[in-house]
Amino acid sequence: MTRFANAYWSPDYRSGIESLSQQSLDSLDQLHELRKFIFNYMNYHHSNSGYMAKLARESLPLDSSFRSERNERRIISGSQRSTSESKPKEFDVRHVFKEFVDRTALESQMQLNLASEIESEVLGKITGFIKLHEPQIKTTLDRFDELLDDYDDSRQKMERTKRKYDELVRLGELEGHDHRIEHDPDESYGTLPGTPEKPKHVYESEEEGEREDGLKFESKDKLQSFLAKAIATITTVKRKIPFPGYRNEIFSSDQLCNYLKTHRPHGFNPTRSSLEKLGQSLIDKKIILGSGLFSQKFKSEGMWFEWSQEAVNTAESRGYVSSSSSTVTSPTAQAFSHLGIEESSRKVNEVAGSTSKRFNMMFKNVKSSLMKPKYSEEAIHELEEEYNEAYEDVQKIKHLLDMEIFNKSQIFEKFEMVRIEVVYQSLTKLSEVLYRHSSQATSSLHDFTSNFIENLNKPVNYERDLRDLLHNNSTGIYFPAIVSPHQGKEHFDPSLLNISFQNIKFTFNLYKDIPLQVKNADVEKDTLLSTRSLPLLLKSLVEATLLAEKSEMQDLWLAPIDHQEYWSLKHEAIELIQKFEPTDDLNIQDEKAVEVAIVQKVVKHLSKSKTKRILNFLKNWLLETSDSVIPCTVYDSLLNSQKDSEDNITDVIKTLSSIPRSNLCSLLFILESISFIFELQTIDEYGSSDDITESEREDEDLMPQVEKLNSMDSIGSVPFLHLIFRPSVVKNASGFKPPQKAYNALLRTLLNVNVREKLCIALITNEKNFLERTKRQEQNLGINRRIVSSETTTTTTTPDVPKIEKDTTHSDKAVSSPVPKNPNQLSGDQFSLRPFRTGTTPQSDRATKEQK
């Protein structure tokens, strides 16, 4: 490969040096562009890091719905972590979302690390290389320009000296032969071969002008045009701090040099050295003015000047420029000509033009003779010495230029070799850094994605999230609203529960409490004790459904509630009740008889419907009654009994034996119907005889049936136990969630045939005790009941005396008074106090409520 020291030579020196300079400048530009590219690459990743950090921060603020409650609580001595932290963490949508936000924050940190690594390993080295070599390169290029200018000046000086020497030698030859050259009158000065003859002071002026390589303006118009164009083209800016006595519009030396390069005057070579010398001449001639202490020395960079008023006036044709300011010199050209001499020459020419041809020729001959240099040996000797010095300067500068090119081209060669290596190595290092971080990011992202695929994105997590969502936000299962939405539980009046009448004229409510419903005993005198207190509507509807097949009945009991179907049948029942008109033989003063008539009419209408509609209506009726079949007063007791698996059956039997007879009778009737439909063990002789005995049968597996009955998987389904067992409406007005496990255990206990037998025996005992007490109380009070016969088949009985008994073993004791001295022939033992109410049952419509 050709070495740089052998490849950048040219006869004129300038072409080789300019090529080498341009190559070096292009190389520096490439380095700057490479640095800019890598800087932008680094800035891209740095900006991405900031954006992703902001995204992670704003995606999970403190008030985010994806934030779970803090598991840490503060105490005085520090922080105490909750015990829930020790439990294995479950994956949910909060965890998954937080995982991705954390991944975004990690991506932000990785992007920041990548930007830092690019800056330290790639960008920093390029920046250091540029800072080290760029000043050296520019200094060398400036040195080349100075040597070229000096070489050019020395050669011109040598050539001028040679011309003067040749002229004097020729004059000496002419004088030696005693011959004077006669000029043709028509020839102008300077047409002789060789160098034109001029007087010594003209040579001196020419020497000075050529040494300064001045720019000459032939007329004032050209000078004015040059200044006007420069002032108009070079843009000015306002001073930040105005100076008194100076203009506010200033321009920089860089702008002036750029203007002279782009609008190069004829014969002017805009090198850096010539530009600075030309600028110095402008300062010396007061064409431009500086405002600082160091403004008298012109530099091509970083200086500020203003146009002088004389320059502005000349450009605007409002003044004149003196001869001292009409010539500006540079190292290669005289910038301005002596306008005064030009004006004088023009006037002389004008005067000479008005004379005759002979006078003009004589004037020129005289002028030529006056301006001719005088030959002398001393002048020849001086020119010889001057020429020798000039020649020596040329050779010396040429030698310096040769050595400079030879040495600096080697430095440039090394610079280019290192520069090319830096470009390749920098881009290679950048690719390595990017690949390394990309590999790390890809590996991390692979693990992150694998975790999502293998652990997080699972159906079990979907179900858990949905279950947790339901658990945390749901209010409860279907609970027919009998509480006004605007009625808070703290201000709720329990007496408002039983004021919804379907027929307000007869104050008839189809959904009042079970003990207040029309009973089987109100219709049939001779009825079994086990069904005596059974509500007539419940008995009739259940018996109507038992006509269907068992398989069909099983599906219907397990089926969800059809609200639309229920409303259709309910609407028909409401219209029937509202339009009820008593017959002529019905005593409307007898409330019990009216209720019996309405219920029988409703039952007759409902019995015409399909079994599916009847059972759907029955489920909703059980839900809408003011209190459930198992009263809410024993709700907590029954649930607490399920917490202790040992001897819970005894507690259940004891608690249920204390509820009102009508409630217990309804419960047994429903449970026996379910057992019959689902082919479970039933109570022998139930419904046909009151001779019930305990059989102590073996327990059967009831859990499959229990889980089916209490299942809530279908839309619209409610647990079977919820139909007959509900908490207080007032306490759960905002919603109720049944404890599924406790419900299953309690229903399993209720479906146990041994439990049902004991409850049935307790019910029969309570009915017997109630009848005996009623009879004894009537005798003690001396009340003779008159049986009112009716021609109709419908008969009524005297309302039961309301009395609450909590246990069959604790019967009401007759509180006897001392033996009074009264005319009545009744013993004091025949009298007892009337029992009083102790429950929270609303008092309206409870005047005839039966107690045990």
pLDDT in tens, 28-58: 999 999 999 999 999 999 999 999 999 988 8
Q: For residue 82, is pLDDT > 70?
A: no
* pLDDT given at position 717: 87
* pLDDT given at position 747: 93
DSSP states of 629-645 as a string?
A: SB-GGGHHHHHHHTT--
d(CA 640, CA 652): 10
Dig out the tokens for 127 from the structure: 């920046």
DSSP label at 789? P
Q: What is the mean pLDDT of residues 609-635?
A: 93
Q: For residue 215, is pLDDT > 70?
A: no
* 452-to-55, 65, 100, 108, 444 alpha-carbon distances in Å: 21, 21, 10, 20, 12
* 65-to-60, 94, 98, 105 alpha-carbon distances in Å: 8, 8, 11, 19
- Least confidently predicted of 77-81, 255-259, 595-599: 77-81
Give backbone dihedrals phi and psi of 811, rounded to 5 degrees, phi first.
-85, 155
Q: What is the mean pLDDT of residues 537-549?
A: 92
Q: Model confidence at 297, in pLDDT bands (50, 70, 90)?
A: confident
* pLDDT given at position 465: 86
Q: pTM of the prediction?
A: 0.54
* pLDDT given at position 646: 56
| 3-state SS class at 396 | helix
* pLDDT given at position 261: 83
d(CA 411, CA 402): 14
By CB atoms closer than 10 A (0-12, 13-18, 19+), residue 296 is exposed
CATH of 494-778, one of 3.10.150.10, 3.60.21.10, 1.25.50.10, 1.10.555.10: 1.10.555.10
Closest CA to 251 of 307, 316, 325: 307
Q: Model confidence at 328, in pLDDT bands (50, 70, 90)?
A: very low
Task: Give percent above pLDDT 90 in the chain.
Answer: 39
Q: Model confidence at 616, in pLDDT bands (50, 70, 90)?
A: very high
Q: Model confidence at 187, in pLDDT bands (50, 70, 90)?
A: very low
* pLDDT given at position 62: 84
- Least confidently predicted of 19-28, 256-265, 523-532: 256-265
Instruction: Name the range with the highest mean pLDDT among 313-322, 325-334, 370-379, 668-677.
Output: 668-677
Fold match, 220-316 / 494-778: no
CATH number of the domain at 220-316, please? Answer: 1.10.10.10
By CB atoms closer than 10 A (0-12, 13-18, 19+), residue 349 is exposed
Q: What is the mean pLDDT of residues 319-337?
A: 38
* pLDDT given at position 779: 84
Closest CA to 573 of 620, 527, 641, 539: 620
* pLDDT given at position 360: 55
d(CA 418, CA 412): 10
Q: Model confidence at 184, in pLDDT bands (50, 70, 90)?
A: very low
Return the domain boundaries, the chain: 220-316, 494-778
